[in-house]
Structure 1
Amino acid sequence: MFSREIIDDSWRYYRELLASENAVAAGICELSGYFFTKDGPEKVSNAHLARLCADYRPATERELRLCPGGWTNGVFCTTLLADDTYHLGWLTERFKEAGGTIIEAEVRDLRELAGYDIVANCSGLGAKRLLNDRRLVPLRGQVYKVKAPWIKTFLYCGEDTYVIPGVDHVTLGGSRRFAATSLDIDKYESKAIWERCTRYVPSLRRAQIVEEWVGLRPHRDPVRIEKERLDTGLTVVHCYGHGGYGVMTAPGSAALVSRLVTEVTSGDFTNPAISSL
């Protein structure tokens, strides 16, 4: 889905930020944990993590018994976490400090922006209406945010179940419903998520629930990162459709958009082939 360049650039950005004095304010930290499955090892293997993470290995037989589930295969790794409750605010401040201006307005047609030289269209789900993009669909997800400070490692296992410690809260999930648009809490999904997470991590039964949250991921196959010249002469660089991988691939995607914008300013309006992995 994503090129090796995007993934590598994203990893490098987060690693450098982790090593900087801004790591705490930006919500970046290292996090270790497990991917478990009852199926074959291919269900938990990740070529990118294996290539990038210094600590990536098969789970031992003892580790497979760390939580109930009858797991037959697993992977342990230490990776990076970007907590958006901190990171998005930090990025916004960096943008303003660099001279950026935020204007809140509704745009119904990109032709309304004809007064600009180049537009980077990062409108997410809004691109469905803005561009009538039928490939773009909402991918609904629902989670709990709980206080469980004793949870120090992440867990991914069957049925889209995950337990992810953040800076302040632990996220319990989840769900994946294509083309679902409701932002209301579904009590049946709530019950299913809670039962799965507490089955695999029984200590979570005494966690304090902070909130339940629903979000719509902008899913497109393929992700759209490309130049387009409108009939008005306006040049647009599109970047949307990342689904559930937006945070993971944001820095690398932004770097690619920046490169495409630079090419446009040099008179190059072609779209190079971008291979995905």
Structure 2
Amino acid sequence: MTAGERVVVVGAGVAGITTAVVLAEAGASVHVIADEVPGVTSLAAGAMWGPYLVEPKDKVDQWSRRSLEVFQELAAAPDTGVRLATGIEASRTAEAPPDWATALPGFQPCEPADLPTGFTAGYRFTVPLIDMPTYLDYLLGRLHTAGGTIERRRLASLADVGPASVIVNCTGIGARDLVPDSGLRPIRGQHVVVTNPGLTEFFSEDTGLSPDLLCFYPHGDTVVLGGTAVDGEGDLARDEKAAAGILARCAEIAPRLAEARVLEHRIGARPSRDTVRVEAERGDGTVVVHNYGHGGAGVTLSWGCAEEVRSFCAE
């Protein structure tokens, strides 16, 4: 990639905007094309750093570690929407913590008295917590400062992009039709945002493959409550029954949440496939670099994947 080279990034979720920032700050002339700016699924994220049911493990470990380094740096600036938060991840079965958790600052197993009723294991650590509306605004501002431009347009195919030496496909679930990629499927996620009754620490349950998640992430005056993970479901309409279940599960852990006022519902479709796809296809004159399929770990992998895209563009 040479200075001023025209690169078009398709998609404006966290993967697309982060990739655009990395490329623009490396000197490329970056133009983003997206139907939604920012992407609705990224806006709906919780979001706490942590690899979440994604493969391949060796690459995911590499990408997520790099993103962790960047988020830890961003947490020093108040306008980014990123902060380092302490809390508990717990399980109702006595399982060993994942390796990514044991390497986090402040990691320590919980005493039984520190766990809610019904939980048999848990651990406390400090991790980046990201307020997504604020964070995505920060990224868009950083892209603008680096000279990147944005166009709201729905594409029928990547061939509709127009002149570009490099096209970066960050279309998330849209890649299922745009590529097309039949291995991509949606996993519907829903969060409920409420007023914060005074919570400062996060809580997350390791629910495995269950469609019913349990987590709450405080962001100043608000708390994001989660959640759901309905495999194969991409409908973004609000599900009142699911919302009631989320509120009930979270209030069982933090009873103060039962009186919190509901502010909004955030729904997205996590773009999931057997493995995250970050790879380049080289054709006649144009390089297409794919960066999608991050499932529920889009934020966690965003900086690591974006830097790998940059390495492909430099070849």
TM-score higher than 0.5 here? yes
Query: Secondary structure of the equivalent of 2:191?
Result: strand
The reply to whether residue 29 of structure 1 matches residue 83 of structure 2 is yes
C-alpha displacement of 1:102: 1.0
The reply to whether residue 59 of structure 1 matches residue 116 of structure 2 is no
What CA distance in whole angstroms lies between the structure 2 residues aligned with 1:248 and 1:116? 29
Query: Secondary structure of the equivalent of 2:199?
Result: coil
Number of positions where the alignment pairs a residue of Structure 1 with one of Structure 2: 253
Q: 1:129 to 1:168 in 2, by over 3 A?
A: farther
Note the aligned Cα RMSD (angstroms): 1.5
Bigger Rg over Cα: 1
Q: 1:113 to 1:210 in 2, by over 3 A?
A: closer
The equivalent of 2:307 in structure 1 is 255
The reply to whether residue 139 of structure 1 matches residue 187 of structure 2 is yes
2:255 to 190, 202, 212: 202
Query: Secondary structure of the equivalent of 2:150?
Result: coil
2:75 to 5, 9, 18: 18
Report the AA paired with residue 54 of structure 1: P
C-alpha displacement of 1:112: 2.7
Q: 1:168 to 1:216 in 2, by over 3 A?
A: farther
The equivalent of 2:279 in structure 1 is 226
* 1:234-265 superposed Cα distances (whole Å, 9 cap, x missing partner): 210100011111111111111111111111xx
The equivalent of 1:129 in structure 2 is 177
Query: Secondary structure of the equivalent of 2:175?
Result: helix
* 1:196-255 superposed Cα distances (whole Å, 9 cap, x missing partner): 11112111111111112211111122110000124x442101000111111111111111
Where in structure 2 are the equivalents of 1:155-194 lying within 5 Å? 155-157=203-205, 158=207, 159-194=212-247
What CA distance in whole angstroms lies between the structure 1 residues aligned with 2:243 and 2:255? 17
Query: Secondary structure of the equivalent of 1:78?
Result: strand
Query: Secondary structure of the equivalent of 1:213?
Result: strand
C-alpha displacement of 1:83: 1.3
1:96 to 130, 138, 144: 144
What CA distance in whole angstroms lies between the structure 2 residues aligned with 1:143 and 1:114? 37
The equivalent of 1:148 in structure 2 is 196
What CA distance in whole angstroms lies between the structure 1 residues aligned with 2:91 and 2:171? 35
- Structure 1 residue ranges (4+ consecutive) displaced by more than 3 angstroms after TM superposition: none
The answer to which structure, 1 or 2, has the higher relative contact order (CA under 8 A, 6+ apart) is 2
The equivalent of 2:290 in structure 1 is 238
* 1:153-187 superposed Cα distances (whole Å, 9 cap, x missing partner): 11112441111112441011111111112111112
Report the AA paired with residue 235 of structure 1: V
Report the AA paired with residue 275 of structure 2: P
* 1:19-69 superposed Cα distances (whole Å, 9 cap, x missing partner): 3xxx21111111111111120223xx1211212x121111012212xx3x3
Query: Secondary structure of the equivalent of 1:41?
Result: coil
Structure 1 segments unaligned to the other structure (5+ residues): 264-277
Query: Secondary structure of the equivalent of 2:62?
Result: helix
Report the AA paired with residue 256 of structure 1: E
C-alpha displacement of 1:149: 4.1
The reply to whether residue 213 of structure 1 matches residue 261 of structure 2 is no
C-alpha displacement of 1:104: 2.0
Q: TM-score, normalised by structure 1?
A: 0.87
Q: 1:114 to 1:234 in 2, by over 3 A?
A: farther
What CA distance in whole angstroms lies between the structure 2 residues aligned with 1:8 and 1:121? 23
C-alpha displacement of 1:114: 5.4
The equivalent of 2:16 in structure 1 is none
1:74 to 122, 138, 145: 122
The equivalent of 2:93 in structure 1 is 39
C-alpha displacement of 1:192: 1.4
The equivalent of 1:117 in structure 2 is 165
Residues 38 and 72 in structure 1, CA contact (< 8 A), matched pair in contact too: yes
What CA distance in whole angstroms lies between the structure 1 residues aligned with 2:219 and 2:98? 22
What CA distance in whole angstroms lies between the structure 1 residues aligned with 2:120 and 2:224? 25
Query: Secondary structure of the equivalent of 1:244?
Result: helix
Report the AA paired with residue 28 of structure 1: V
* 1:96-154 superposed Cα distances (whole Å, 9 cap, x missing partner): 11111112222212223352101111111111110120111111011110011411111
The equivalent of 2:35 in structure 1 is none
Query: Secondary structure of the equivalent of 1:174?
Result: strand
What CA distance in whole angstroms lies between the structure 2 residues aligned with 1:58 and 1:34? 9
Report the AA paired with residue 74 of structure 2: L
